[in-house]
């Protein structure tokens, strides 16, 4: 049944304080004499408000910078109010099309993402929390602790974003659209100062929730249509053979630096990531098919098998920590510190060894892939297997680094050859008099 009357008004809420202080803006919806109000979480100067129009007064007197700025602020507010007004009409139309009672309360509930007509909305953070609870229950079976930590991080980020952008504790999953995704991307990069690739990985977690909602019929269209989650290529650094030698030969007066250096080098000669090295047990090192010592483990990140023959340098490092108390007590091959401490000490080690690259523990894995294996003729398929990659494409990123090295070496050769007056084997031309 269509309502007999419909009214919509934006107004400044009165208060008993200073009349010059900005007042909160409220939205009043009136249908058949019944009204409901809600804050729009904005405030405005009452001296610059047109009560009859329910809009901010735009004052743009020529030649006044302050007026221009105030005029821009007023225009931005009015644009926002126009958007809210359109949403009110959309909500009214939605109720009419679904044959539900059109009331001021029902429209307000739609705007706030609350239950309407007995139909409980599916909220984004609720879906997210349920997903994370399932992940938690499957740790050690299908997921790792690191995966749960990542999803919990994104859940907390999304909660902060909803407060920052919409002043909401949660949001109806149906409100997800292209604008929501792009605003989330902007928030990550400008407010949280997170780089592009990490931002895309975090937003991919939101996409997983949207896919779940689509498959359950809670969403009618994919909000990610037209949005690219492509990662940007990162210049993966690795240590050169000379830098490895300098680090290995360096004598440290501080024991903790020597210990971190050894652990880092062990990763350089095995390709183990920090998380895998931290959990590596002595029982995971045994005799392989060639009679030598091998590492038999599973990557925490991908849960894929890694079988790595130990190189002499790696074996030598292990011998140094056979009787280390921490290793004996926790059944670990090396006394690995926290990742934060490891990276902090690696900066000191780089300074001591004259290495200008920004050392992090993950560079060790890159070094194994390039300097230790691929550069020495180990086939990329073998390297991929040792690194525990699920497909060869992941390993091919390291091959691109080698292409750059080939290009640099050939460029240096070109410069040396161009500096010579005559190419080898080419007869020298006679100078013309």
pLDDT, residue 112, reads: 78
Alpha carbon distance 84, 80 (integer Å): 6
Q: Are 221 and 213 in contact (CB under 8 A)?
A: no
pLDDT, residue 303, reads: 67
pTM: 0.56
Of the candidates 161, 157, 188, 187, which has an alpha carbon nearest to the alpha carbon of residue 175? 161
**Residue 91 CB neighbour total at 10 angstroms:** 19
Query: pLDDT tens-digit profile of 143-163?
Result: 878 889 999 999 999 999 999
Pair of tokens at residue 55: 């809009």
Q: How many CA atoms lie within 13 A of 63 on its CB side?
A: 0
pLDDT band at 191 (very low <50, low <70, confident <90, very high): very high
In the DSSP assignment, the letter for residue 98 is T
Highest average pLDDT, of 20-24, 57-61, 344-348, comes from 344-348
pLDDT, residue 33, reads: 86
Residue 431 has pLDDT above 50, yes or no: no
Identify the residue with better confidence: 142 or 236. Answer: 142
Q: Lowest-pLDDT range, 1-15, 150-164, 275-289, 314-328?
A: 1-15
Query: pLDDT tens-digit profile of 328-356?
Result: 888 899 999 998 899 999 999 999 999 99
Mean residue pLDDT of the chain comes to: 85
Q: Are 113 and 171 in contact (CB under 8 A)?
A: yes
pLDDT, residue 105, reads: 86
Sequence-distant (≥ 6) Cβ neighbours of residue 74 within 8 angstroms? 48, 56, 57, 58, 59
Query: pLDDT tens-digit profile of 206-254?
Result: 999 999 999 988 888 899 999 999 988 776 788 999 999 999 999 998 8
Q: Are 220 and 237 in contact (CB under 8 A)?
A: no
- Which percentage of the chain shows pLDDT scores above 90? 48
């Amino acid at each position: 049944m269509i309502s007999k009357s419909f009214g919509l008004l934006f107004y400044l809420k009165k208060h008993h304080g200073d009349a010059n202080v900005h007042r909160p803006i409220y939205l009043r919806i009136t249908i058949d004499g019944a009204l409901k109000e809600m804050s729009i979480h904005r405030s405005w100067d009452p001296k610059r408000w047109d009560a009859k129009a329910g809009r901010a007064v735009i004052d743009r007197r020529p030649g006044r910078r302050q007026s221009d700025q105030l005029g821009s602020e007023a225009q931005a507010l009015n644009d926002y109010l126009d958007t809210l007004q359109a949403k009110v009409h959309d909500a009214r139309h939605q109720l009419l099309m679904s044959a539900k009672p059109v009331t001021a309360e029902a429209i307000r509930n739609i705007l706030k993402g609350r239950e309407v007509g007995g139909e409980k909305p599916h909220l984004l953070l609720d879906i997210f929390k349920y997903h994370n609870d399932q992940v938690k229950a499957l740790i050690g079976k299908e997921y790792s602790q690191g995966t749960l930590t990542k999803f919990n991080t994104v859940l907390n980020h999304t909660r902060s974003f909803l407060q920052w952008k919409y002043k909401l504790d949660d949001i109806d999953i149906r409100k997800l659209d292209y604008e929501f995704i792009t605003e989330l991307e902007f928030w990550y990069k400008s407010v949280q100062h997170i780089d592009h690739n990490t931002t895309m990985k975090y937003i991919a977690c939101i996409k997983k929730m949207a896919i779940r909602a689509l498959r359950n019929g809670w969403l009618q269209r994919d909000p990610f249509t037209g949005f690219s989650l492509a990662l940007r290529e990162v210049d993966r650094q690795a240590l050169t053979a000379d830098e490895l030698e300098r680090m290995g030969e360096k004598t440290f007066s501080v024991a903790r630096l020597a210990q971190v250096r050894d652990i880092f080098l062990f990763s350089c000669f095995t390709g183990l990531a920090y998380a895998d090295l931290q959990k590596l047990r002595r029982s995971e090192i045994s005799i392989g098919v060639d009679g030598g010592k091998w590492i038999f483990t599973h990557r925490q990140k991908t849960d894929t098998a890694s079988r790595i023959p130990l190189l002499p340098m790696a074996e030598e490092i292990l011998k140094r920590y056979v009787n280390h108390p921490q290793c004996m007590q926790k059944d670990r091959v090396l006394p690995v510190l926290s990742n934060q401490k490891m990276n902090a000490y690696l900066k000191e080690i780089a300074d001591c060894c004259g290495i200008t690259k920004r050392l992090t523990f993950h560079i060790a894995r890159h070094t194994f892939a390039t300097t230790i294996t691929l550069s020495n003729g180990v086939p990329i398929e073998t390297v991929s297997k040792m690194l525990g990659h699920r497909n060869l494409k992941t390993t091919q990123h390291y091959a691109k680094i080698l292409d750059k090295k080939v290009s640099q070496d050939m460029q240096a050769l070109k410069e040396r050859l161009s500096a010579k007056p005559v190419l080898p084997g080419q007869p020298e031309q006679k100078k013309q008099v």
